[in-house]
């Protein structure tokens, strides 16, 4: 995959970890008047979860449309709202990444076959 110039995999991870940190700080601040993250959190978990679902649907629509840039924007919305949901549930991104690490090298087809055996 080609990443934007100068933007390596470590930088991509930095971005997600920095965003996770910012989101945690906004949750701790609890100031819905000045923070979208705090506002969303104050509206409750079902609203956060629904928002993630909406953004996922918007990403699907963008993927099926002609504008590559629309998909980039909607994918960013999905990642952002997923991080907000994980923070609200006290699940560190590192835990999700560890699960992906655990799955690394196991084909999805093999895993599926092992479930139906
Ligand atoms: N990455 C984001 C980010 N991506 C999207 N959004 C917001 O997500 C919202 C969702 O957009 P939509 O248009 O889908 O929804 P909406 O109609 O505005 O909202 P609803 O009325 O449907 O709830 C918009 O208000 C966007 O601005 C984000 N808001 C914040 N961040 C990051 O989070 C940090 C903390 O933000 P605050 O909590 O606002 O300080 C920021 O510095 C950014 O780094």
Model pTM? 0.91
37 CB under 6 A from ligand 1?
yes
77 CB under 6 A from ligand 1?
yes
Other beta carbons within 10 angstroms of residue 96's beta carbon come to 13
For atom 22 of ligand 1, which residue has the closest CA? 51
84 located within any domain: yes
Q: 77 CA distance to ligand 1 centroid (A)?
A: 8
25 located within any domain: no
67 located within any domain: yes
- Read off the pLDDT band of 7 (50, 70, 90): low
Query: Structural domain tally of the chain?
Result: 1
29 located within any domain: no
Average pLDDT over residues 42-63: 98
Whether pLDDT at 115 is above 90? no
Q: Select from 18, 20, 27, 36 the residue to mutate for testing ligand 1; criterion: most ligand atoms less than 8 Å from CB.
A: 36
Atom nearest to 40 CA in ligand 1: 23
Whether pLDDT at 112 is above 90? no
Q: 29 CA distance to ligand 1 centroid (A)?
A: 16
Rounded to two decimals, the ipTM of the complex is 0.91
Query: Which residues does 93 contact at the CB level (< 8 Å), separation at least 6?
Result: 16, 17, 20, 83, 86
13 located within any domain: no
105 located within any domain: no
35 CB under 6 A from ligand 1?
yes
94 located within any domain: yes
Its sign, for the CA torsion 6, 10, 14, 15, is positive
Average pLDDT over residues 47-69: 98
66 located within any domain: yes
Q: Residue 13: what pLDDT?
A: 80
Its sign, for the CA torsion 51, 55, 56, 60, is positive
Its sign, for the CA torsion 51, 49, 30, 97, is negative
- Parent domain of 95: 45-100
């Amino acid at each position: 995959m080609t990443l934007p110039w100068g933007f390596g995999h470590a930088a991509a991870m930095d971005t997600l970890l920095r965003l996770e940190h910012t989101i945690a700080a906004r949750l701790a601040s609890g100031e819905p008047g000045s923070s979208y993250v705090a506002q969303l959190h104050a509206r409750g978990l079902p609203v956060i979860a629904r928002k993630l679902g909406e953004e996922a649907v918007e990403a699907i629509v963008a993927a099926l449309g002609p504008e590559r840039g629309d998909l980039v924007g909607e994918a960013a919305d999905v990642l952002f709202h997923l991080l907000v949901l994980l923070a609200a549930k006290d699940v560190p991104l590192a835990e999700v990444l560890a699960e992906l690490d655990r799955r690394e090298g196991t084909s999805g087809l093999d895993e599926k076959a092992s479930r139906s055996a």
